[in-house]
């Protein structure tokens, strides 16, 4: 069973959400003690035993969502064979969705292949998006279409990522697991003396511990897909949580989960601010990471001349900057969807595995077609577009132009001669809400300096939002 609370998907950015997330996990643990935290706001557990005790899967799921609702948190529960299918079931509209064992394959077959582009593919976001786009071009629109392909053909055509996605589409795990108990104690720990009252040093230590843990696993030909994080405070309290990731946990990913877990215990135990100090009685005295589920290591992708791919070095540098300046000091662009170019890229803290706020695949009627602009300005630049006589070009209520654009002048820059233009593309957004209703007409303008611009007329004013170069 998967229990999903969409409003608590990122407790690392909100201490109150993190505390509510911890209370939700505590509630679910009351029904089944063996709970895996898949990510913030999402947890999973094997339902067979608890369902027999509580009178069935539907009854158990309904009781959990009801108790969670008493906290003021909306939740959905999904029951299916396999974590991937249960995650998809928990995204349904109903509070509880139970997929019978005989219907899991049929349920997955009806899902669009776009569900493979999320974090369900072990954080391989870019690879998954490219794979989904390729499947669409090949006419494979559903998981059923993809699952019908022969396994050996998928492996030879799409590689390891495609083979993993094919297993998910067939209702199997993302990889064949070879779970076994570790031959030795592979856990790593660090003590803090005096106790550490701030979260950032503990998170930075967690990253170093995760690297040591992965090195020990690699020496044995293993890698970790689930890790247990144990934090002990000076006053005797403990926070123990098992975090699961559908794929290999990087050191940065482990450190992020430590941060989320510590945030769930704020404000008393840990405060992220540099100026806060709760004293020894409130600080962390011990942090321990223990690999809880192991698989055989599949190897490492090397760069052209044999050296390791520099992604880990980039991650280490970004994590160090975040430890010094804060979690939001290093951002990365996350592509999403929308009708305006300013809506399609969202800056996200490095290491966060967020889904786009809006689905990139659309459809988005009214979106400007063609290649995406090379530069999107942080704020639209004021401009003036005039005709051959020097009069400002206007757009009427039926999208008729007063005259053809002849010159483009951006504020603070000399005018440019317009050599070509296309448009207008009208857009009337949120017409049902007077507070945010917006009418605009978009144009593409080419100028004599070899540049092209994405301009918009809104409230009688010309603005330039982006440039093509």
Write out the chain's pLDDT in tens, 469 residues.
888 888 776 645 566 777 788 888 888 888 887 787 777 788 888 888 888 888 888 899 999 999 988 888 888 899 988 888 888 888 888 888 998 878 888 888 888 888 887 644 333 344 567 788 888 888 888 888 888 888 888 877 877 778 878 888 887 765 443 334 444 678 889 999 888 888 888 988 998 898 888 888 878 777 776 788 889 988 888 888 877 654 456 788 788 888 888 876 654 434 444 434 443 357 889 999 988 766 666 655 555 555 555 555 676 677 667 666 766 778 877 777 677 777 677 777 776 655 555 555 566 666 776 677 778 887 888 899 998 888 889 888 777 888 899 999 988 888 889 999 887 888 887 778 888 788 888 898 999 888 888 889 988 889 988 888 7
Structure tokens that stand for 386 in this block: 């005039």
- The SS3 call for residue 194 is strand
Whole-angstrom distance, CA of residue 384 vs CA of residue 323: 45
Q: Give me the count of residues in the chain.
A: 469
- Give the residue from 216, 217, 234, 288 showing the smallest Cα distance to 258: 288
By CB neighbour count within 10 A (0-12 exposed, 13-18 middle, 19+ buried), where does 274 fall?
A: exposed
Same domain, 211 and 110: no
Whole-angstrom distance, CA of residue 366 vs CA of residue 361: 14
What is the domain extent for residue 435?
Answer: 375-468
Same domain, 380 and 290: no
Residue 148 lies in a domain: yes
Residues 6+ apart with CB under 8 A from 330: 318, 321, 322, 349, 350
Residue 88 lies in a domain: yes
Dihedrals φ, ψ of 67, to 5°?
Answer: -65, -40
Same domain, 100 and 54: yes
Query: 219 with 293: CB under 8 angstroms?
Result: no
Structure tokens that stand for 376 in this block: 């999107």
Tally of structural domains, the chain: 3
Residue 213 lies in a domain: yes
Same domain, 137 and 267: no
Write the CATH number for 201.
3.30.1490.100
Same domain, 147 and 49: yes
Task: Please report where in the chains the tokens 């603070």 appear, as a residue.
Answer: 412
Query: 94 with 77: CB under 8 angstroms?
Result: no
Residue 338 lies in a domain: no
């Amino acid at each position: 069973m998967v229990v999903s609370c969409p409003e608590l998907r990122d407790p690392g950015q909100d201490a109150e959400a993190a505390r509510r997330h911890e209370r939700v996990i505590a509630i679910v643990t009351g029904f089944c003690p063996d709970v895996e935290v898949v990510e913030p706001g999402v947890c999973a557990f094997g339902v067979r035993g608890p369902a027999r005790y509580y009178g069935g899967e539907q009854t158990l799921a309904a009781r959990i969502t009801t108790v969670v609702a008493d906290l003021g948190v909306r939740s959905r529960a999904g029951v299916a064979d396999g974590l991937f299918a249960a995650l998809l079931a928990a995204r349904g509209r109903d509070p509880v969705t139970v997929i019978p064992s005989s219907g899991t394959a049929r349920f997955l077959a009806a899902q669009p292949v776009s569900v493979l582009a999320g974090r369900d593919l072990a954080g391989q976001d870019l690879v998954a998006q490219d794979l989904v786009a390729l499947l669409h071009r090949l006419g494979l629109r559903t998981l059923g279409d993809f699952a019908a392909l022969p396994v050996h053909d998928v492996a030879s055509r799409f590689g390891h990522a495609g083979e993993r996605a094919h297993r998910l589409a067939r209702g199997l795990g993302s990889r064949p697991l070879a779970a076994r108990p570790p031959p030795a104690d592979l856990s790593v720990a660090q003590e803090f003396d005096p106790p550490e009252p701030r979260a950032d040093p503990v998170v930075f230590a967690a990253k170093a511990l995760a690297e040591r843990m992965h090195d020990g696993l690699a020496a044995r030909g293993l890698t970790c897909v689930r890790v247990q994080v144990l934090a002990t405070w000076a006053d005797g309290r403990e926070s123990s949580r098992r975090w699961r990731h559908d794929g290999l946990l990087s050191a940065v990913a482990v450190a992020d989960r430590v941060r989320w877990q510590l945030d769930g215990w704020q404000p008393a135990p840990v405060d992220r601010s540099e100026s806060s100090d709760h004293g020894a009685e409130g600080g962390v005295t011990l942090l321990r990471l223990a690999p809880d589920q192991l698989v055989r290591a599949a190897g490492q992708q090397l760069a052209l001349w044999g050296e390791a791919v520099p992604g880990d070095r980039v991650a280490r540098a970004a994590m160090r900057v975040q430890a010094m300046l804060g979690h939001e000091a290093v951002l990365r662009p996350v592509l999403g969807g929308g009708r305006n170019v300013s809506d399609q890229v969202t800056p996200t803290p490095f290491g966060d595995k967020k889904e786009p706020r809006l689905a990139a695949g659309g459809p988005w009627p009214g979106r400007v077609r063609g290649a995406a602009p090379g530069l999107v300005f942080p704020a639209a630049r004021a401009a003036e577009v005039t005709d051959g006589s020097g009069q400002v070009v206007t757009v009427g209520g039926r999208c008729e132009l007063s005259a053809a654009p002849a010159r483009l002048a951006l504020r603070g820059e000399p005018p440019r001669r317009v050599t070509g233009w296309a448009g207008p593309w009208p857009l009337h957004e949120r017409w049902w809400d007077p507070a945010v209703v917006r009418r605009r007409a978009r144009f593409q303008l080419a100028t004599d300096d070899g540049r092209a611009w994405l301009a918009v007329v809104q409230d009688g004013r010309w603005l330039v939002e982006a440039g093509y170069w």
